[in-house]
Structure 1
Amino acid sequence: MSQATRILAALALGLALGLACGAWMPGWVEPSAAVAEPIGGLWLDALRMTIIPLVVSLLITGIAASADAARAGRLAGRAVILFMAVLWTSAILSALLTPALLGLWPMPGDSAAVLRAAVESTEQPAATVPTFAQFVRSLVPTNPIAAAAEDRILPLMFFTAVFAFALTRLPKAPREQLTGFFRAVADTMLVIVGWVLRAAPLGVLALAYIVAARAGASALESLGHYVIIVASVGAVVWFLAWPLAMIGGRVSFLAFTRAVGPAHAVAISTQSSLASLPAMLRGAETMGVPVAASGVVLPIAVSLFRATGPAMNLAVAIYVAHWYGVPLTPGVLAAGVVLAATTTLGAVSLPGSISFITSIGPVCLAMGVPIDALVLLIAVETLPDIVRTTGNVSMDMAATATVARRSRFDESAATEEDRLLAQGA
């Protein structure tokens, strides 16, 4: 049984037990919740301890990799610029679209209030919502170590980004030494995350039981509502791959659809962009993109470019904010956009059950949104993760066609660096 299946089974079991206890033995709800809460809380704290070191190290290595790719060749540099533009567009689109969807179709009935009450005892107090002036002043940390200790994620990420860009200006030897150190830190933290996630079914079962016992059927309605909202936001980014391919890459609608079809099949079955790379390379060839171009752009895209990440990560954070009643002021949304767009550079190309909390946790922390609900939401990540992966695959191929076309790229126009990169891929 896969990890995602075990987590989903734990969710179903926890919800069933909680609903049964709430309906037939209401007197046992609070005593049993008092036993389950430390279990879920301990598992959540174990995940929380990995967020800061993992995100910092991944952001540094992601920016270093982007800079190396931009320096590697003309085509790679243009690809990185397009990737950055799409990532920021994805985040901004989510900041506009998700609140609009929640306004048009809010959570069922009084589910938000009931769910807040259901997790009240495990809820972390949300940060005070800053004014715009306070938000701007808070971007630069006077003490990065204190910012990390206090979970002030936005100023910490600002310092980390400045540090990473400064690192790219160092000579090759110290630059590679520092990058290697942070890559080793990231790999070590991923090992710890893997250990913690082995206990995910227990943590998810405990929290699902608490929520279902206290909230009843509202928990089931809200989870379905959440999946549809977040998947819809990701689907919008996914479908934007067609206009990008048609306008930027001058590929017809039908040609792009045929080219991306096999990659979609792999993405749906594996939920991994990396596993879809061979199918993407073949699809790019059917669109008429030279191998010397696709062999450069697509491997970089798989490593750095996750177009649906900013939109869907921010959508989750906004949904949880809506759940907990956190005001979505312009400053809060701006903090979410910045974190969602930048931390995607360091996202792990692995199924969503592994990267879910480490990718979305920093966005929630920056927006002052409690992350406790993420333990429950990770269990229903399968469908949103399929949308994430298929959307990323489509955007990877659309961006590749666009960069190749806009660079007037053909085999004779490839630089020596581009050819070497393609051969290495």
Structure 2
Amino acid sequence: MLRSLSVRVLIALVAGLGLGAAAAAYGGDGLRGLIEGVESIGTLWLNGLRMTVVPLLFSVLVVGIASVADAAATGRLAVRALAWFLGFLLIGCAWSILFSNGLYAVWPVSEAGAAALTAGAPPPPAEVQATPSFGEFVKALAPTNPVKAAAEDSILPLVVFAGFFAFAVTRLAEPRRRALTEFFDSISAAMVEIVRWVLWAAPVGVFALCLGVGLRAGVGAAGIIGHYIAAVVLAQVGIILVALSAAVVIGRVPLGQWLRALGPVQVTAFATQSSIACLPAMIEQSRDQLRVPDRITGLVLPLAVSVFKLTSPVANLGVAIFVAQVYGIEPTAVQYLGAVIIALAVSVASVGLPGQVSFFMSTGPICLVLGLPLDLLPILIAVEVIPDIFRTVGNVTGDMAVTAILARGEEPDPAVDSDAEPALG
């Protein structure tokens, strides 16, 4: 059993979380410093995954579009994918509002705890107020310098450029189109090979990362903060179950096959808290375990990582509703409608990196639309590490679920091993 990489990674994950939490409870400053030093090894491992992301993302998107000579057919696939993304996101918004308010109706926030939390809240950072306008967001979609966008991990503008580039390739004569497609396909294959080398060291990397996760989580999960964590995590678990069920019921993927394909991806998501870092694993598992054709994985998964964050509106709305409960404010239906629009916009604009990076910019505008103070956000970000794990697990689950749904009834690529799982449908 220990020969399985997934088993070794799971053991490393549990051991890292346990030791980190024990150090948080009983360790001194010296032990904490040691764990922070060990965590740097995990960061090195994570960077090994991240260094493949931009070239892999660009190459698989170009190949996924350019390999189909009929640009209209590719456009139809992209439109279908976007329609599924929007449908899942709207379901997530409705679920978060209904579930969160229902949960607080049966498990209300303690008045004493709310008073203590608001009394100790520091003022929010000034940049929370400086949210970009819709016009600025639209202007930023097309990168003035694609190389700079790639260097700065500006994924959405990079995907826009890759999409235009790939559609332009489909308009070239067959020899040129084939040459460019083979070139980027070779880049994709080389990146996947590097990913396999990095994943060989996954148990060490996951253990080192989870030491830090356990250390920080063990400090903050108590009292009303624990109430907050439970509410946001449960809301995300609900939408994750929706995505799991959709792949089985709508995508017609056998449950065992689906869980085998999804398991390694979710473990990587748990460890890295980055859906972008999970892209190589999602592509490999979709191709090898689910036998999704390359023309679908090459288009849908990069597109999903760029614009489809299944748990983003669920978690961000959940944060805002918790703040409303703490202050005893009841937003109106119109305010909730505005909050849903903002939640959808920030979910598209955010990149698949750890949620702490964009926590204020994602939740601040939603709170403002609902008429809520922002003072609690600096406190809540201290324990964002736990909800962020479920954000990433949910995001990759949604990405693969939509991919499986779109692959229903499609014939697998002949290059897939004959001993792989049977085709979808």
Aligned counterpart, 1:133: none
Distance 2:315 2:270 in 1: 17
Deviations, residues 349-381 of structure 1 (Å, cap 9, x unaligned): 211111111111111122121112111111101
Aligned partner of residue 344 in structure 1, secondary structure: helix
Shift of residue 114 of structure 1? 3.2
Distance 1:352 1:297 in 2: 23
Higher helix content, 1 or 2: 1
Aligned counterpart, 1:95: 97
Distance 2:251 2:257 in 1: 11
Aligned counterpart, 1:409: 410
Distance 2:102 2:282 in 1: 34
Long gaps (5+) in structure 1:
14-64, 125-148, 169-174, 188-211, 213-218, 413-425
Aligned counterpart, 2:400: 397
Aligned counterpart, 1:386: 389
Residue 262 of structure 2 corresponds to residue 260 of structure 1: yes
TM-align CA RMSD: 3.8
Distance 1:220 1:252 in 2: 40
Describe how 1:9-408 pairs up with structure 2 within 5 A: 73-119=75-121, 122=123, 177=144, 220-284=222-286, 285-405=288-408, 408=409
Aligned partner of residue 359 in structure 2, secondary structure: helix
Distance 1:269 1:176 in 2: 31
TM (normalized to structure 1)?
0.59
Aligned partner of residue 292 in structure 1, secondary structure: helix
Alpha carbons of structure 1 residues 344 and 179: separation in structure 2 relative to 1, 3 Å = farther
Distance 1:339 1:220 in 2: 30
Distance 1:94 1:151 in 2: 24
Deviations, residues 184-230 of structure 1 (Å, cap 9, x unaligned): 9996xxxxxxxxxxxxxxxxxxxxxxxx9xxxxxx941111100000
Alpha carbons of structure 1 residues 329 and 229: separation in structure 2 relative to 1, 3 Å = same
Asked whether the 8 Å contact 1:314–1:336 carries over to 2, the reply is yes
Deviations, residues 242-281 of structure 1 (Å, cap 9, x unaligned): 1110122111222211110000111111111111112212
Identity of aligned residues (%): 37
Alpha carbons of structure 1 residues 353 and 241: separation in structure 2 relative to 1, 3 Å = same
Which consecutive aligned stretches of 4+ in structure 1 deviate over 3 angstroms post-superposition? 69-72, 121-124, 149-153, 156-161, 175-187, 408-412
TM (normalized to structure 2)?
0.59
Shift of residue 321 of structure 1? 1.3
Aligned partner of residue 110 in structure 1, secondary structure: helix
Distance 2:95 2:151 in 1: 34
Alpha carbons of structure 1 residues 277 and 178: separation in structure 2 relative to 1, 3 Å = closer
Shift of residue 334 of structure 1? 1.6
Distance 1:176 1:222 in 2: 43
Q: How many residues align?
A: 287
Asked whether the 8 Å contact 1:152–1:366 carries over to 2, the reply is no
Aligned partner of residue 246 in structure 2, secondary structure: helix
Distance 1:178 1:81 in 2: 29
Distance 1:123 1:384 in 2: 20
Specify the code of the residue in structure 1 equivalent to 2:223: E
Alpha carbons of structure 1 residues 343 and 258: separation in structure 2 relative to 1, 3 Å = same
Shift of residue 340 of structure 1? 0.7
Aligned counterpart, 1:50: none
Long gaps (5+) in structure 2:
1-16, 26-60, 66-70, 155-219, 414-425
Deviations, residues 23-50 of structure 1 (Å, cap 9, x unaligned): xxxxxxxxxxxxxxxxxxxxxxxxxxxx
Distance 2:392 2:297 in 1: 19
